[in-house]
Structure 1
């Protein structure tokens, strides 16, 4: 009976992604660690005015402050792309995906207007940088994405940055095709379990298909406390305890700016935004999603800041610029 029980628990962990090593966060007293009490209070007041579902502030791997329901799981929108980037880092290090592979070599196409030969010259790396030059309709697009999409064939692969859901969704197809793994089970086993996420299950992801494209979107739901673990993993250069979960070189490469963007001083790496180094110091980066979803890492302050917003409760959500303002206030208050 004992053997059957152990097997059943293990099987459930494999199938559903529940971590048997979920680890609660440790807390630290802000005053004793050198935080400005006034600065932290002002940041909390500012955050409260914007009505997020939860905010977590972590420094040196310990919770400095947490507001709202940090265990509530919310669709984190385009943060999904940074989560997938982490899986790519693992798959590339294992030789299962190659950055230089073209879409032609991978057999990637679309409907109802097939990709052109020129578009099929785009590489995996081009898609990770949002530089594919493929402006085909895509699933899970916003109205602005559809309205502002460049014309088909107007840019050559690799030559132009544009925030493009086609690239991001096709990367999901390529990941599943080349690894033979489901994205959500893969994330649960390869990332969530090793870093001790408390809430995430493979059932917290779903595929969204739309008739205009064969490539599905893959939204995730995360709690703030699990999102903070993901941020801490990147702040730790992909390491958790004695395990290198994501290659350190990939963390560095994916949070390096390869493109300037329409967001002013923000750049874009491999499915990660990069933050202004003059404001936040070197290597600061952001996983960002519609409505105010955010995971920020600020290495110069050894800081992770997470915000999630349930748009079912706060229909207007929050602008990215509001989160950047909050992040500046917290960085200023941090020792």
Structure 2
């Protein structure tokens, strides 16, 4: 079913609405069919999950919040999608060539990379298909059915390995001359007016001895994550500032690895993988999901952007700093109850159904 004409008019009117110092709340939630009954159902769903905060944004305004959306904590793998956003400007400016190989960049490990592994390009790493199965320096990888070193041609096989993502951060710094965290502060936090961003909280994390490359971890609040999602929904624009090139937004959120080439266990709502973003399924009955993208992190850190509806959803399962650090074997100090992507999307479905009058 296509998006209705009244909804299309409403979306056109709201596309220039961005939060200023504070988020502005939606004046009339009923215009989005967000009734008291829908609110009560969403409240009940979230209360039954380990979610600590949740935010729904419609037309650039806060439609709904749950918990403390100002609380800052560990983003886990959601960091990877943010790194993808940072890559956009550097690629457009010619500072990063995605066809550069590990050999070109002199990326190596203490015990060496294999010759075939050195042929992996930055583009291969962006789609988690490097063919490098070296142990990563941080937790969060798929530890099941890891291929043998040297057994896969780079670019031919998807395996979710943090080695790829950590090396992307190192390559970004090498080629741009800026740290990941400084680039984030200058390109995103400042221009978008992130309310809770603290440069001193951002840091490298992981365990020593496994790899030369650790993880570039962000510590952000739910409402600041929603600003990042809104910029992506608006084709990389923040007011009059194109903070992420529109071409990169399109390229980095189209499917590069379809679900049938993935070996992930939880992909019932995932159609594929892009440049560090997960892409939800779109069907003839759900055209509103066209162009949607998800950033997903361990324990339940999510950003869902839905350009067709000009909506953003954020879920946080806040993790205390001392638990965000893993043991040397890659396991976390404590495995807390987590929010799955399926559970997160089921909450978003309630808002979407209401907005489209499908309830």
User: For the structure 1 residues 58 and 154, does the alpha-carbon distance in structure 2 shift closer, same or farther, using more than 3 Å as the test?
Assistant: same
Q: List aligned pairs for 1:36-75, cutoff 5 A.
A: 36-37=34-35, 38-75=37-74
Q: CA deviation at 1:185?
A: 1.3
Match of 1:167 among 164, 169, 189: 164
Normalising to structure 2: TM-score of the pair?
A: 0.83
* 2:53–2:67 contact (8 Å) kept in structure 1: yes
Match of 2:150 among 137, 141, 153: 153
Q: List aligned pairs for 1:1-335, cutoff 5 A.
A: 23-37=21-35, 38-112=37-111, 114-142=112-140, 145-209=142-206, 210-259=208-257, 260=259, 261=262, 262=264, 263-266=267-270, 267-278=272-283, 279=286, 280-312=288-320, 315-335=336-356
* 2:142–2:159 contact (8 Å) kept in structure 1: no
Q: Secondary structure at the match of 1:63?
A: strand
Root mean square deviation, CA, Å: 1.8
Q: CA deviation at 1:30?
A: 4.5
What is the distance in 2 between the residues matched to 1:300 and 1:76? 26
Q: CA deviation at 1:247?
A: 0.1
Q: CA deviation at 1:146?
A: 3.4
Q: CA deviation at 1:56?
A: 0.5
| 5+ residue gaps, structure 1 | 1-20
Q: CA deviation at 1:111?
A: 2.4
Q: Secondary structure at the match of 1:213?
A: coil
Normalising to structure 1: TM-score of the pair?
A: 0.89
* 1:58–1:305 contact (8 Å) kept in structure 2: yes
Structure 1 stretches of at least 4 aligned residues deviating more than 4 Å after TM superposition: none
Q: Secondary structure at the match of 1:300?
A: coil
What is the distance in 1 between the residues matched to 2:62 and 2:152? 45
User: For the structure 1 residues 45 and 221, does the alpha-carbon distance in structure 2 shift closer, same or farther, using more than 3 Å as the test?
Assistant: same
What is the distance in 2 between the residues matched to 1:310 and 1:67? 13
The more displaced of 118-127 and 145-154 is 145-154
Q: CA deviation at 1:324?
A: 1.6
What is the distance in 2 between the residues matched to 1:66 and 1:265? 24
Q: Secondary structure at the match of 2:214?
A: strand
* 1:137–1:146 contact (8 Å) kept in structure 2: no
How many residues are matched?
313
User: For the structure 1 residues 265 and 49, does the alpha-carbon distance in structure 2 shift closer, same or farther, using more than 3 Å as the test?
Assistant: closer
What is the distance in 2 between the residues matched to 1:31 and 1:132? 45
Q: CA deviation at 1:40?
A: 3.3
